[in-house]
């Protein structure tokens, strides 16, 4: 066994190159590898196909106006999905994002309207409140080591109760906001670009995703978020302070929920403590359809943006085709299952 | 006689009523490959964890270059040039080779982008990673940005060793580097170990594989019942001697009570 080893380099080269020979693969294998390399291609393909299909079914679908309407409709849930993506990338899940968003919109509204706090300060207080809710979730997950699912199931109820308490279950009406705190409705402001009608809320969503893209791919923090989600033990051994990374993720997610809250006030026009009850699950839907793995560490941050658009396109397309609303749910349900099945299949590449 | 580069005296670590280390000693000399062997439960891992910073001993002293040191975490040990390749490799499978090599010590771009926006210098990191892999003869890995999970077991081990070699300026600790590998891949890793040693960096090799230990080690530290039983010269002892000492079937000369 201990024959004298000849120079290392020459001996290794030919064999190892053969291991990377990709030529003898079936088409299916190649598709699998391609998707493994570019996981966002799945939602992109689904989005393109659904655009084509609905465009063929109903001629009105492809108007700039209708497509921009889809963007307006997904802006709030899309922004929320950005927060959800961060948590899911760490192999967690945040069931409280929707409740946090509504709670913060109530905080902003109450401070500005009923307590006479200057609106910019009310908004900052709302964002700080988002950071605090995130810090609570993060503290429970990292310090008490509770599973994120249960932690956020608990805080969801807590935040919902706080929301009812602070709002007194009263809606702050649109007219009141117009006179007392118009800045809260800023993200509902519409503007027109060549037939398309967009809101600043749409811009906010795109900017949030762009900033997250930068943070996740171009900074050390982002690489660490992926590493912690991928394999927390390995990340810790490699010198990552995993708790600190997790904590930062929950706090950033909380702040993004705060931005979504501000955006939601503009979208709805009023501040209702009972609005967006399904936003939690809708944000998870967008993330899953967007190809981010629920097991953490895999998927592109741009996926959930596309995922949110897919849901929006399905809703709009089916409505224009005159199909009953229930089939939107039906279709979304199958999309979720399909997305998770594809994720499982792609992950097998590694074994 | 040269001074040991890294040494430990009277390390004690208790977990409840279990004593994992019972006044254990350890010495690593410059430029050597020191194998650490011992039966399961002999306390090898605790010893290794203590000198790599993963565990803080209850008692005892660790010296690096003759100066007492204390590690609060593996990060501390790493800052002092002690790198560990864990049995699990501690690689993130979905991340690229380059990302993995720099995990926890990424290079930022100079100037505004790096300082204020935290932008990573991917080019510099890729170049460095490529250079290190080439140095160790691992450049058959063609794409530095391919995810680690697409590599074979031996190649992954190679990346982990390259990472340790790239940053471990003083000591490299390898925990069971060949345990999960086939014959051919083990061969390469052993070559790699000798390659690293030839650069003058001493290596601590923890292994159950006697042929591997006897092939590469300069000295063999035998751990038994939580402490160092003896250190033997692989040229003067046989593998069966080592196994007998390890299991207590035989007592090394000079220690017989």
Higher pLDDT, A73 or A348: A73
Output the domain CATH number for residue A260: 1.10.3470
How close is the nearest chain B Cα to the Cα of A237, in Å?
6
Give Rg (Cα) of chain B.
19
Chain A residue with CA closest to B145: the answer is: A37
- pLDDT given for residue A30 in this prediction: 83
Name the pLDDT band for A12 (thresholds 50, 70, 90). very low
What CA–CA distance (Å, rounded) separates B175 from A252?
37
Is residue A23 included in any domain, yes or no? no
With CB atoms and an 8 Å threshold, state whether A5 touches B90: no
pLDDT the model gives residue A350: 55
> Is A8–B142 a contact, with Cβ atoms under 8 angstroms apart?
no
* Positions of chain B with pLDDT under 50: 256-257
Quick one: pLDDT at residue B87?
86
Inform me whether the pLDDT recorded for A218 exceeds 80: yes
Query: With an 8 Å Cβ cutoff, are A12 and B192 in contact?
Result: no
Domains of chain B: 6-81+168-247 (3.40.50.300)
Residue A33 domain-assigned? no
A230 to B95: CB separation less than 8 angstroms, yes or no: yes
Reference A131, options A221, A222, A247; nearest CA is: A247
pTM value > 0.90: no
Q: With CB atoms and an 8 Å threshold, state whether A220 touches B108.
A: yes
Chain A: give the shortest CA distance to residue B237, in Å: 17
Lowest mean pLDDT of A1-5, A135-139, B152-156, name the range: A1-5
Above 70 in pLDDT, residue A123? yes
User: Does a structural domain hold residue A338?
Assistant: yes
Residue A318 lies inside a defined structural domain of this protein: yes
Q: Give the residue from A3, A16, A244 with the most B CB atoms within 10 Å of its CB, the best one to mutate.
A: A16
Question: pLDDT averaged over chain A?
Answer: 89
Facing residue for B119 by CB, picked from A1, A20, A219: A219
Residue A133: the pLDDT is: 97
Which residue did the predictor score with more confidence, A221 or B116? A221
Whether residue A223 lies inside any domain: the answer is: yes
Judge whether residue A251 has pLDDT over 50: yes
Query: Is B90 part of the contact surface with chain A (CB cutoff 8 Å)?
Result: yes
Both structure tokens of A300: 């592109």
Per-residue pLDDT tens for A309-347? 999 999 999 988 888 888 888 988 998 999 889 888 887
Q: Report the relative pairing of strands B203-206 and B33-38 from DSSP bridges.
A: parallel
Tell me: pLDDT of A5 over 60: no
Neighbouring residues of B7: CB distance < 8 A, sequence distance ≥ 6:
B25, B26, B27, B28, B62, B63
Residue A10 pLDDT greater than 80, yes or no:
no
Residues 36-75 of B with CB under 8 A from A: 54, 74-75
Of all residues in chain A, the one with the smallest CA distance to B196 is: A8
Write down the pLDDT at residue A20: 43
Contact A350 B106 (CB under 8 A): no
What is the domain count for chain A?
1
- Could you tell me if residue A171 is inside a domain? yes
Q: Give the model confidence (pLDDT) of B26-66 as tens digits.
A: 999 999 999 999 988 888 888 998 998 888 999 999 999 98
Among A17, A227, A297, the residue with its CB nearest the CB of B103 is: A227
Q: Is the pLDDT of residue A14 over 60?
A: no
C-alpha of B184 from chain center: 21
Q: Is B70 exposed, middle or buried (0-12, 13-18, 19+ CB in 10 A)?
A: exposed
Q: How confident is the model at residue A200 (pLDDT cuts 50, 70, 90)?
A: very high
Summarize the confidence of residues A207-221 as an average pLDDT. 96
Q: What is the pLDDT of residue B250?
A: 84
Q: What is the pLDDT of residue B88?
A: 86
Size of interface A-B (CB pairs under 8 A): 108
| Domain of residue A219, residue span | 44-54+64-345
Q: Is residue A322 part of a domain?
A: yes
- Residue A59: per-residue pLDDT: 84
Whether A3 maps to a domain, the answer reads no
Contact A221 B118 (CB under 8 A): yes
């Amino acid at each position: 066994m201990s024959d004298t080893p000849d120079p290392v380099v020459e001996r290794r080269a030919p064999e190892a190159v053969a291991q990377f020979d990709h030529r003898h693969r079936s088409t299916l294998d190649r598709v699998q590898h391609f998707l493994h390399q570019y996981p966002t291609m799945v939602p992109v393909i689904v989005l393109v196909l659904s655009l084509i299909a609905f465009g063929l079914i109903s001629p009105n679908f492809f108007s700039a106006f209708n497509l921009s309407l889809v963007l307006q409709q997904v802006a709030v849930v899309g922004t929320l999905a950005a927060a959800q993506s961060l948590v899911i990338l760490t192999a967690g899940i945040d069931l409280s994002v929707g409740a946090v968003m509504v709670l913060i919109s109530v905080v902003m509204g109450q401070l500005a309207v009923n307590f006479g706090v200057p609106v910019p300060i009310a908004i900052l207080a709302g964002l700080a409140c988002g950071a605090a809710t995130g810090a609570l979730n993060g503290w429970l997950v990292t310090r008490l080591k509770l599973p994120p699912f249960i932690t956020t199931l608990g805080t969801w109820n807590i935040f919902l109760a706080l929301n009812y308490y602070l709002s007194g279950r009263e809606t702050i009406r649109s007219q009141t906001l117009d006179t007392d705190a118009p800045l809260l409705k800023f993200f509902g402001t519409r503007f027109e670009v060549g037939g398309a009608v967009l809101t600043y809320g749409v811009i906010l969503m795109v900017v949030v995703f762009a900033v997250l893209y930068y943070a996740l791919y171009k900074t050390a923090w982002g690489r660490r978020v992926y590493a912690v989600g991928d394999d927390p033990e390995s990340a810790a051994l490699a010198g990552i302070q995993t708790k600190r990374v997790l904590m930062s993720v929950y706090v950033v997610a909380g702040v993004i929920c705060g931005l979504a809250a501000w955006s939601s006030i503009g979208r709805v026009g009023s501040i209702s403590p009972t609005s967006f009850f399904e936003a939690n699950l809708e944000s998870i839907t967008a993330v899953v359809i967007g190809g981010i793995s629920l097991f953490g560490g895999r998927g592109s941050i741009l996926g959930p943006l596309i995922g949110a658009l897919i849901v929006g396109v399905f809703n709009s397309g089916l409505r224009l085709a005159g199909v009953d609303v229930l089939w939107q749910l039906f279709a979304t349900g199958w999309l979720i299952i399909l997305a998770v099945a594809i994720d499982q299949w792609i992950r097998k590449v590694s074994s | 006689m040269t001074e040991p580069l890294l040494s430990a005296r009277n390390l004690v670590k208790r977990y409840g009523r279990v004593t994992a280390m019972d006044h254990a000693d350890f010495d690593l000399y410059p430029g050597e490959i020191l194998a650490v062997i011992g039966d399961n439960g002999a306390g090898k891992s605790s010893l290794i964890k203590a000198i790599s910073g993963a565990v803080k001993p209850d008692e005892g002293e660790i010296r690096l270059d003759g100066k007492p040191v204390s590690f609060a975490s593996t990060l501390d040990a790493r800052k002092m040039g002690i790198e560990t390749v864990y049995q699990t490799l501690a690689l993130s499978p979905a991340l690229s080779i380059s990302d993995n090599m720099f995990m926890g010590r990424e290079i930022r771009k100079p100037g505004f982008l790096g300082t204020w926006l935290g932008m990573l210098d991917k080019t510099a990191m890729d170049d460095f990673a490529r250079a290190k892999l080439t140095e160790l003869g691992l450049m058959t890995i063609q794409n530095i940005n391919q995810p680690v999970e697409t590599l074979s077991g031996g190649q992954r081990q190679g990346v982990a060793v390259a990472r340790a070699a790239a940053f471990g300026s003083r000591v490299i600790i390898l925990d069971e580097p060949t345990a999960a590998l086939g014959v051919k891949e083990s061969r390469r890793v052993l070559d790699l170990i000798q390659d690293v040693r030839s650069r003058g960096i001493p290596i601590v090799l923890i292994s159950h594989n006697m042929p591997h230990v006897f092939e590469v080690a300069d000295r063999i530290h035998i751990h038994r019942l939580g402490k160092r039983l003896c250190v033997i010269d692989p040229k003067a002892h046989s593998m069966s001697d080592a196994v007998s000492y390890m299991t207590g079937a035989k007592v090394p000369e000079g220690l017989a009570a």
